[in-house]
Every structure is written in C-alpha cells, then in structure tokens.
C-alpha cells in the first residue's frame, strides 16, 4: 500500500494501523527486528492476531510499509517528490538519505543486518523512482551516455552506499560538507557533468 492509499483509509482502520506501527517501532528499538514476532506486536498494540493479519501478512510486510511511509514523509518535508532535477535538489536528497539511514540504524536494537538489508531495498527503490522521475523531466537536449533507467540505477546504488559510508564513519565530515563532497560523484553517476547540470531549474 502506498502512502497515498494509506491516507484514504477509514479513520478506525487508520487508527488501528497506527497502533500496530507504533508498537512495531517501539519493539524494534527494544529488541531488534530479527527476534521480533507477530505476537510481540499484537500484545504491545492491544489487538488480536486476526486484526494484525487483516492489515499485514507478516512482519516483513509491516517493515516494508513502515520504511516506505517514513521515507516518503522525509521527501515530502523537503518537497523533493514534487520538484524538478537540479544540483540543489540532488544535494538535498543526499542529506535526506544520509539522515534517514543514520536514524534507521540507530533505532534498531543490536546490530541487525537483516533489518538494515530490508531498509536498503525499500529506500533504494524510492531513490530510483524519484531520480527516474527527475530525469524524465530533463530537456530532450541533455545528453546521456547510458539510458536514463541505467543512470537512475547507478545513482540510487551510489547514493545509498555513500549514506551508509557516512554513517559508518560516525557522521564525519559534517553532513552539509559531506553532501558537497559527494555531489560531483552522483552527478557523474547520472552521466552529467557539474557545468551541464548547474543551469537546470530547481
């Protein structure tokens, strides 16, 4: 279910889903994702198992939904989901992804590699979709050495990897400085040089 579909839910259904999501978020912080079971979530949320399964088939689907929803909210805050491509917007996306990865890794108890891998998949999918949308809006005269789909794929992998690397180096250098440092690398992954990309509108 997309964040847009979630907004159309009946208020009672939406409230139950929010209870499930809150219980899930709290439990991940306490015990991690790998050892978490559906019964833990239902007991914390004060619902029965049938109610949980009416919303999500398992804890993996709940995690996918939670990541998509939270990352989409971060994109909406900076209106990156409704803007056009520019170096400024690409730089803002670097900041969003770095902050999201850092927050996600710090919220999960223990060193939960399974959780981190699932976060990576969902965030990369959304980065790929957003960058692909941006590239489709570029003027037809912009030259690409590869297809725009390939450029989106390369940039989404690179951007997520750079965010993980920043997190591993204990958030050094400061994020604003780091975003400036890696921006030329991401522009290159998109097949654009800095001079060609700079005049594009925000």
Query: What tokens appear for 141 in the block?
Result: 């005269």
The domain tally of the chain equals 2
Instruction: Record the pTM.
Output: 0.81
pLDDT on residue 150 = 85
Q: Which residue has the higher pLDDT, 3 or 92?
A: 92
pLDDT on residue 16 = 93
Are 85 and 117 in a shared domain? yes
Domain at 50, CATH number: 1.10.10.60
Cα–Cα distance measured from residue 178 to residue 183, given in angstroms and rounded to the nearest whole number: 9
Domain at 188, CATH number: 1.10.357
198: number of Cβ within 10 Å: 12
Place of tokens 């990352």: 71
What's the start-to-end Cα distance of the chain, in Å?
30
Give the mean pLDDT of 132-152: 75
pLDDT surpassing 90 at residue 151: no
pLDDT interval class at 9 (50, 70, 90): low
pLDDT in tens, 70-123: 999 999 998 888 888 889 999 999 999 999 998 887 776 555 777 888 889 999
Q: Do 191 and 151 touch, CB atoms closer than 8 A?
A: yes
Are 47 and 85 in a shared domain? no
pLDDT on residue 53 = 95
Q: Which residue has the higher pLDDT, 200 or 171?
A: 171
CA–chain centroid gap for 173, Å, is 22
Helices 87-107, 148-168: inter-axial angle, 10-degree rounding: 50
Q: Which residue has the higher pLDDT, 43 or 83?
A: 43
Query: What tokens appear for 202 in the block?
Result: 């925000």
Question: Does any domain span residue 105?
Answer: yes
- SS3 state of residue 118: helix
Question: Does any domain span residue 202?
Answer: no
pLDDT on residue 2 = 47
Are 41 and 73 in a shared domain? no
Nearest Cα residue to 75 out of 146, 126, 37, 35: 126
pLDDT on residue 183 = 93
pLDDT on residue 43 = 96
pLDDT on residue 110 = 59
The pLDDT > 70 percentage for the chain reads 84
Cα–Cα distance measured from residue 94 to residue 173, given in angstroms and rounded to the nearest whole number: 14
Are 69 and 55 in a shared domain? no
Domain limits for position 170: 65-197
Cα–Cα distance measured from residue 162 to residue 118, given in angstroms and rounded to the nearest whole number: 17
Are 94 and 51 in a shared domain? no
């Amino acid at each position: 279910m997309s964040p847009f579909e979630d907004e159309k839910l009946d208020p009672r259904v939406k409230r139950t889903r929010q209870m499930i999501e809150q219980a899930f978020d709290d439990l991940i912080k306490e015990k991690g994702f790998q050892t978490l079971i559906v019964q833990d979530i239902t007991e914390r949320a004060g619902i029965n198992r049938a109610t949980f399964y009416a919303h999500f088939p398992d804890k993996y689907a709940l995690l996918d939904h939670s990541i998509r929803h939270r990352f989409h909210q971060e994109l909406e805050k900076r209106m990156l989901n409704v803007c056009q491509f520019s170096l400024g917007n690409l730089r803002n996306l670097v900041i969003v992804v770095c902050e999201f990865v850092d927050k996600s890794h710090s919220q999960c108890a223990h060193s939960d590699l399974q959780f981190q891998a699932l976060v990576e998949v969902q965030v990369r999918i959304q980065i790929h979709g957003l960058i692909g949308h941006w590239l489709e809006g570029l003027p037809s005269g912009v030259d690409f050495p590869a297809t725009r789909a390939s450029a989106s794929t390369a940039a989404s992998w690179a951007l997520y990897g750079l965010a993980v690397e920043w997190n591993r180096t204990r958030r050094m250098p400061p994020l604003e400085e780091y975003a400036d440092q890696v921006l030329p690398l991401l522009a290159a992954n998109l097949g654009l040089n800095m001079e060609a990309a700079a005049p594009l509108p925000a």
